Each structure stands twice: as structure tokens, then as C-alpha cells.
């Protein structure tokens, strides 16, 4: 017989191991999907502004030690692609920002239009990434020093994230300083204009005399 506290302890261990296993399986399925060229099969115009707000709220609720600062404009931020995959990109970056700032702090999620592109940044005040490891963090299964730090992970999140971003015609990058934090940024082609049915840019409508 075990007392309540011991039971709770072991149930906690079982619960966290089950979560880790399920995370691992999800990530493996993502990698397989990518290798089969399965991402970005869904092609629709997605306003990522509400999606960013929802993900921010979701992660805000997951950590008491972090405060999430959201800087997303009122205007729509339309891109073309798979809403589920795009949500996963934001989720992965927010999850890392929290996970790799174990002492807590501010996590900032900002987005906006930059010319014809939509830019998103996720900034943390966490442990940062040692310069020597920076070239490898998008490599599958690479975890660097954190592998022995007790912070769980698979080393697959950023590989999947970059594949999704690139399959949407976008780019992803980061700047980081060890001990100071990291800023991940991504840029996706905006879906403004084009097939929205509006005639605003129709050359036939051009004013007389204009060249």
C-alpha cells in the first residue's frame, strides 16, 4: 500500500512519460509527412492574426513563470497555406521560448506586414544558444547542450517548423546570445490582392491617360 503522496508522485511520473511518448509520436508523424511532401497540401487564404492570438493565449495558460506579450495589429495578416501547419509553427516557437527560459521571464510574440510579406517574431529572455551550436539547431534530432540539462525534447520541432515555413514559400531565422535569450523570426509571402475578387488592381480599370 502507498500513501496518497507517493501515489500522486508516481501518477505524475506516468503522466509526464505518457506525454513525452505522445509528443515523440506526433513529431515522428510530422517528419514522415514532410518527407512524403505532405505539408502545404491545403491551400487557403489564412489570416494568421487570430491564429497568433489563440496560440498566445494557449501558451500563456501553460506557464505561471512567463508573461506573454502580444503585439499583433488589428489589421488582417493574410497568407496562403495550411492553417493547421501554420499554427504548429507558432506553437513550436512559443513552446521553445518557454521551455528554454526555465527561470521565467517575458516571451514576446509580435507580427506585422512588411511590404508584401507577413513577419512574425518570437523573443525570449532565456538561456540562448551557444554560438558553436547555432548552425545546427534546424538539424533533425540535434539538441546541443540541453540534451543533458533535463529539459525534455526530441530535436525535431525546429526541423519540422522550417520545413513548414519553406513549403509555404517563407524563410525562418534567429539571433541568439548565450545567457541572454533568443529571437526567432519568420517571413511568409502575404496573400493580399490577387484572388479576392476585388477589381482594385485591375489594369482595365486604369484611369484614362495613365501610363
Per CB under 6 A, residues contacting ligand ADP are 96-97, 100, 124, 126-129, 137, 142-144, 146, 153-159, 182
Residue appearing with cell numbers 490577387: 194
- Start-to-end CA span in the chain (Å): 88
State the cell numbers at 122. 518570437
Bridge partners, 120 (sequence order): 111, 186
Q: CA 100 to CA 47: how far, in whole Å?
A: 28
Q: Shortest gap between Cβ of 103 and ligand ADP (angstroms)?
A: 12
Residues 127 and 95: their CA atoms lie apart, in Å, by 14
Distances 83 to 50, 53, 79, 142, 201 between C-alpha atoms, Å: 11, 14, 9, 27, 27
Which residue, 154 or 192, has its beta carbon nearer to ligand ADP?
Answer: 154
Residue sitting closest to ligand ADP (CB): 153
d(CA 209, CA 45): 35
Return the number of the residue (83 or 144) whose C-beta is nearest ligand ADP. Answer: 144
Going from the C-alpha of 135 to that of each of 8, 110, 172, the distances in angstroms are 42, 24, 13
Compare residues 172 and 191 and give the one whose CB is closer to ligand ADP: 172
User: Minimum distance between the CB of residue 63 and ligand ADP, rounded to whole angstroms?
Assistant: 14
Question: CB of 33: closest distance to ligand ADP in angstroms?
Answer: 16
Which residue, 83 or 155, is less far from ligand ADP as judged by CB?
155
What whole-number distance in Å separates Cα of residue 78 and Cα of residue 70?
18
Cβ nearer to ligand ADP, comparing 47 with 166: 166
Amino acid at each position: 500500500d502507498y500513501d496518497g503522496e507517493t501515489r500522486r508522485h508516481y501518477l505524475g511520473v506516468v503522466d509526464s512519460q505518457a506525454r513525452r511518448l505522445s509528443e515523440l509520436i506526433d513529431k515522428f508523424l510530422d517528419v514522415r509527412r514532410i518527407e512524403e511532401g505532405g505539408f502545404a497540401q491545403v491551400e487557403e487564404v489564412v489570416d494568421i492574426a487570430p491564429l497568433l492570438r489563440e496560440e498566445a493565449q494557449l501558451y500563456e495558460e501553460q506557464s505561471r513563470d512567463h508573461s506573454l506579450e502580444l503585439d499583433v495589429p488589428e489589421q488582417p495578416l493574410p497568407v496562403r497555406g495550411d492553417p493547421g501547419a501554420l499554427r504548429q509553427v507558432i506553437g513550436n516557437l512559443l513552446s521553445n521560448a518557454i521551455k528554454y527560459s526555465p527561470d521565467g521571464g517575458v516571451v514576446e510574440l509580435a507580427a506585422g506586414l512588411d511590404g508584401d510579406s507577413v513577419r512574425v517574431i518570437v523573443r525570449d529572455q532565456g538561456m540562448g544558444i551557444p554560438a558553436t551550436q547555432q548552425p545546427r539547431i534546424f538539424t533533425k534530432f540535434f539538441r546541443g547542450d540541453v540534451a543533458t540539462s533535463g529539459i525534455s525534447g526530441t530535436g525535431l520541432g525546429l526541423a519540422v517548423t522550417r520545413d513548414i515555413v519553406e513549403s509555404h514559400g517563407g524563410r525562418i531565422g534567429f539571433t541568439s546570445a548565450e545567457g541572454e535569450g533568443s529571437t526567432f523570426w519568420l517571413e511568409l509571402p502575404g496573400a493580399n490582392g490577387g484572388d479576392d475578387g476585388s477589381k482594385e488592381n485591375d489594369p482595365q480599370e486604369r484611369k484614362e491617360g495613365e501610363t
